[in-house]
Amino acid sequence: MWLLVAGLVVFLGIHLVPAIPILRRGLVSRLGERRYKGLFSLASAAGLALIIAGYAHAPTGVRVFSPSAAAIAVAPVAITLAFILFAAANMRGYLRHTLQHPMLIGLAIWSAVHLLANGDLRGTVLFGAFLGFATLDLASAINRQAVKAFDPSFKFDIMAVFGGLVAAVTVMALHRFLFGVPVAAFGA
């Protein structure tokens, strides 16, 4: 379990740096923008690798709470919505313009549904950490008014919906193969 926790600390910790503008500015001034982004990418990749390895090696079957039947029932719709929001996060559409932080909202939905639908210790640690991060970073982004101005276009919303649907169906179809848990009748 310590490997999973270490991965979460590294991955989510490095992703909290932009939420503390003075820290980010200090690092960029010391390292330069390119080195900062390079180290950010390396730390993210290392943290992600630790999360994957840690989750795979964490003890299974340790129950913290019973999985929520409601979360399991709404998961396909909620996760599809989360994938649409992930896609909208970097597009200049009305979804991003209206919600301002669709990536963090999508991450909160994804992690909350997974947290409630699992109930095991390793899932609680993983998805609880991501939900906490999403909540903290969303509050920080709203407080900092971290929003980029742009002229929205519906074509980007159409692309986000289509891309999010394709990604959601693909992940659901491969969920058993990738994560060992079947979530769709049409899955592999």
In the chain, domain spans = 1-58, 61-188
Q: How open is the CA angle 113-81-4, to the nearest 5 degrees? A: 40
CA 52 to chain centre: 14
What separation in angstroms does the CA of 133 have from each of 16, 79, 119, 158, 165? 8, 18, 19, 28, 25
d(C-alpha 97, C-alpha 88), whole Å? 9
Average pLDDT, the chain: 95
> Backbone phi, then psi, for 125, in 5-degree steps?
-65, -50
Q: Residue range 9-23: average pLDDT?
A: 94
Partnered with residue 120 across adjacent β-strands are: 63
| pLDDT tops 80 at residue 124 | yes
DSSP state of 183: -
**Pair 79, 56: CB distance under 8 Å:** no
**CB hemisphere CA count around 154 (13 angstroms):** 0
CA 152 to chain centre: 24
Q: How confident is the model at residue 181 (pLDDT cuts 50, 70, 90)?
A: confident
pLDDT at 187: 65
d(C-alpha 16, C-alpha 3), whole Å? 20
Q: Residue range 77-103: average pLDDT?
A: 97
pLDDT at 188: 60
Q: Give the predicted TM-score (pTM) of the model.
A: 0.92
Q: How confident is the model at residue 85 (pLDDT cuts 50, 70, 90)?
A: very high
